[in-house]
Amino acid sequence: MLQGKKIVLGITGSIAAYKACLIIRQLIKKGAEVQVVITPAGKEFVTPITLSALTSKPVISEFFSQRDGTWHSHVDLGLWADAMLIAPATASTIGKMANGVADNMLITTYLSMKAPVFVAPAMDLDMYAHPSTQKNLQILQSYGNLIIEPGTGFLASKLEGKGRMEEPENIVTQLEQFFAEKEATGTAEGCALSPKDSMKGKKVLITAGPTYEKIDPVRFIGNYSSGKMGFSLAHECAIRGAEVELVCGPVSETMQVNHPNIHRTNVESAREMHEACLNLYPQMDSAILCAAVADYAPEKTAPQKMKRTGDDMVICLKPNPDIAASLGQMKKDGQTLIGFALETDNEESNAQSKLKKKNFDFIVLNSLRDKGAGFKTDTNKITIITENKKTEYPLKPKSEVAGDIVDKLESLF
């Protein structure tokens, strides 16, 4: 129930604006009080008369009331609300929210908002998938706003079917869950949806992505790692207040970090990653080694493009440094070290032996035999293994898996 809850509902210019009427009906049915703030474009899709009839309150869209010229105070609205919900949220409004472009009443209200903000994007898939929109959504998430989307409701999940606004009843359910959790814990803290500062003052090194080992100027030995798991971990630590050093192999340009607590160093080869990590680890409280580091590199990199010959070609490979083992040897009291193991067979015993060999505090195991786990997927299914305990987790989006891993890391501090 949402008895007595005060909700500011922001409506923007999307075809899904008519669904805002259904949201209002359900919020009111559950006992909430709703104040609509609508953008000029929103009014093209749903009329203020309908909205004020549903909410029993005048709809706010201008800075001044057209009837008597009184000022609509966005500051007061920011203090009045228990939550702000922007549904539907267009790419334009999301961009303005991310960048503080306060040219309408809805954005000024958002910038003055003291309560948690929920955002339900609504646009076509191309607009949604554009790096600009994705970046802006990540910025909003880094501000602690909750993005409500169909399916898993998280940014890192598959794009198919995305962009479409989440169904009104699911949006209302998310709000209900939020208030239920908040009341259960007595504060917004402990609620999975709110930003925390439980890792404030901690410094975490995270490696992510593949490494490329050069054969010649145009070829390399690499692997399928996308970097998504490492980026999700970096984001999770950052929103909990940690300072993150993200050492990142060559990943797609769409993989961006937008949180002020994340400092990114780009490297290409295992040797470069090794060097960056050796320099950083002594200042860290913890390191999470998520990168898929190539175990071998060509003995020589050809200075010119290698030409095709009629014969077989042999490339001699030499072992790369093991970053995890090096950090495991350097590890001091009070420091922790977390590793990953992606296995195809004998999963648990392989993970156990890596845990010992590399001096990890725990190791995150995923098996390529599990559907939806491993490289290139947006989901992962993990088992966390310590010296004497094994905990299995269900298949989840990588963003949520990151939450489980960071919870475990925090329990070691």
Q: Which residue has the closest beta carbon to ligand CTP?
A: 323
Is residue 37 at the binding interface for ligand CTP, with CB under 6 A as the rule? no
Nearer to ligand CTP, 92 or 232 (CB): 232
Q: Which two tokens stand for residue 379?
A: 């989901």
Binding mask 188-227 for ligand CTP (x = CB under 6 A): -------------------x--------------------
Preceding amide of 88 cis, omega within 30? yes
CB 26 within 8 A of CB 168: yes
Nearer to ligand CTP, 340 or 362 (CB): 340
Q: Which stretch, 5-13, 39-47, 170-178, 336-344, contacts ligand CTP (CB under 6 A)?
A: 336-344
Nearer to ligand CTP, 29 or 357 (CB): 357
Q: Of 60, 85, 324, 355, which one interacts with ligand CTP (CB under 6 A)? A: 324
Is residue 320 at the binding interface for ligand CTP, with CB under 6 A as the rule? yes
Q: Which stretch, 63-71, 157-165, 338-346, 395-403, contacts ligand CTP (CB under 6 A)?
A: 338-346
Q: Which two tokens stand for residue 240?
A: 């909990």
Is residue 339 at the binding interface for ligand CTP, with CB under 6 A as the rule? yes
Q: Of 46, 84, 215, 293, which one interacts with ligand CTP (CB under 6 A)? A: 293
- Tell me, yes or no, if 223 is annotated catalytic: yes
Is residue 240 at the binding interface for ligand CTP, with CB under 6 A as the rule? no
Nearer to ligand CTP, 172 or 363 (CB): 363
Provide the residue count of the chain: 413
CA separation for the pair 51, 413 (Å, rounded)? 50
Size of the site for ligand CTP (CB under 6 A): 16
Q: Which stretch, 84-92, 137-145, 259-267, 322-330, contacts ligand CTP (CB under 6 A)?
A: 322-330
Shortest spacing between CB 321 and ligand CTP, in angstroms: 6
Nearer to ligand CTP, 84 or 292 (CB): 292
CB 289 within 8 A of CB 326: no
Is residue 341 at the binding interface for ligand CTP, with CB under 6 A as the rule? yes
CA separation for the pair 240, 406 (Å, rounded)? 9
Is residue 291 at the binding interface for ligand CTP, with CB under 6 A as the rule? yes
Binding mask 142-181 for ligand CTP (x = CB under 6 A): ----------------------------------------
170, 223, 350, 359: which one is catalytic? Answer: 223
CB 98 within 8 A of CB 136: yes
Q: Which two tokens stand for residue 317?
A: 């490979």
Is residue 54 at the binding interface for ligand CTP, with CB under 6 A as the rule? no
Q: Of 323, 355, 384, 405, which one interacts with ligand CTP (CB under 6 A)? A: 323
**Residues 350 to 379: which contact ligand CTP by CB under 6 A?**
354, 358
Q: Which stretch, 43-51, 113-121, 290-298, 403-411, contacts ligand CTP (CB under 6 A)?
A: 290-298
User: In this structure, is the dihedral angle defined by the CA atoms of residues 150, 151, 155 and 159, taken in order, positive or negative?
Assistant: negative
Is residue 87 at the binding interface for ligand CTP, with CB under 6 A as the rule? no
Is residue 405 at the binding interface for ligand CTP, with CB under 6 A as the rule? no
Shortest spacing between CB 387 and ligand CTP, in angstroms: 16
Distances (CA, A) of 250 to 226, 264, 267: 9, 12, 7
Is residue 270 at the binding interface for ligand CTP, with CB under 6 A as the rule? yes
Q: Of 295, 387, 392, 407, which one interacts with ligand CTP (CB under 6 A)? A: 295
Task: Indicate which residues carry an active-site annotation.
Answer: 223
Q: Can you give the binding site for ligand CTP, defined by CB under 6 A? A: 207, 270, 289, 291, 293, 295, 320, 322-324, 339-342, 354, 358
